[in-house]
Amino acid sequence: MKKLVFVILGLTLFGCKKGAEEDFSIKPVSEKSELVKKAENFFKSISTVKYEAIPLDKIDLGKKLYFDKTFSKNGDISCNSCHNLATFGVDNKVFSLGDSKQPEERNSPSVIYASLHASQFWDGRGKAIGETGNSNSNPVEHGIPSAAVLVKKLNANPEYQAAFKKAFPNDKEPITIANFNNAIEAFERQLLPKSKFDSYLDGDEDALSEQEKKGLSAFIDNACITCHSGVAVGGQLMQKFGLYGDYANLTHSKKTDKGLYNVTKKEGDQFLFKTPSLRNSEKTYPYFHDGSVASLKEAIKIMGKLQLKKDISDADANDMEAFLKTLTADVDSKYKE
């Protein structure tokens, strides 16, 4: 009996000790660094973006339309031709060649993260991402004569008839230019990959190297966050390009583009352009609306002079370039052709 009491007592004590060890094994939450706290004032992780519940049928239709060359006059280009998802949503050309084989007037921006922007196109004339589908009627780009011709092409294809009916089941006439744009928009809304910088903002402070952290600090301290902040790290404002000088004097621009003024004809809109998102800026060269600069470091230094009226040091420019590279993120292969 005594032996039984001791065994029970021993088991009880052992159990208590083990339980106590487990209770106190929880590690305290580490304190955020000052740099992370500072960064959180200006940036948000892609993880904070709330995804819409978009039916898969609509997304699949949008992807098919995005890669289909049928919707150009000569059948030579698709959306992906100028906004190639295999190369981070761009073609890395100064000016893309449209279906007409003529160069476009502005550099083709990336469609990756475009759904986070406040407006579309360099001059901000598109207020919704779906409006970018109107490129089909642009004579230099896709060259389709009219929306009616586009709708006719869709209606002539039994596969698209079935796909539009599945994607827009409540519409009496599913095939419309609005639904065409809506489907492409549904697809492009999926293009929000996570970068190293997002991991850093999500709490993994080791995601960035010391140089990348120095670059983040320099980016903030040099006031680049005035235009490039938020979850998209830009894409929210219309800003004059050349606040402190003629941009053509510093870039390699071959012609002057007055930006939003070309749309509104208002004097105050001269040289206003949408500030681009800096996500994937490492991969989306050449830079600016006219693709006039190929080097990311050079673009950083030019922006310092034109927009901040300061000479950014080589050390800061190198560090900021390292930081901007932490914004590189490729889309899932399932979204590529």
Q: Residues at the annotated binding site for heme c?
A: 79, 82-83, 224, 227-228, 303
Tell me the Ramachandran region of residue 143: left when phi exceeds 0, alpha when psi lies from -120 to 50, beta otherwise.
left
Q: Which amino acid is at 63?
A: K
Q: Quick check: helix, strand or coil at residue 281?
A: coil
Are 102 and 321 a contacting pair, CB within 8 Å? no
**CA–CA separation, 28 and 33 (whole Å):** 15
CA-based radius of gyration for the chain? 26
**CA–CA separation, 122 and 171 (whole Å):** 33
Q: Which amino acid is at 210?
A: E
Show binding-site residues.
79, 82-83, 224, 227-228, 303
Are 257 and 105 a contacting pair, CB within 8 Å? yes
**CA–CA separation, 102 and 184 (whole Å):** 24
**CA–CA separation, 335 and 142 (whole Å):** 22
Contacts of 137 (CB under 8 A, 6+ apart): 144, 145, 146, 147, 150
Residue 310 DSSP symbol: S
Q: Quick check: helix, strand or coil at residue 235?
A: coil
Q: With residue 240 as reference, give the H or E element that holds it.
A: strand 238-240
Are 142 and 39 a contacting pair, CB within 8 Å? no
- Report which of 322, 280, 292, 299 is spatially closest to residue 83, judged by C-alpha positions: 280
- Tell me how far CA of residue 164 lies from CA of 66, 142, 196, 258, 292, in angstroms: 14, 21, 37, 40, 41
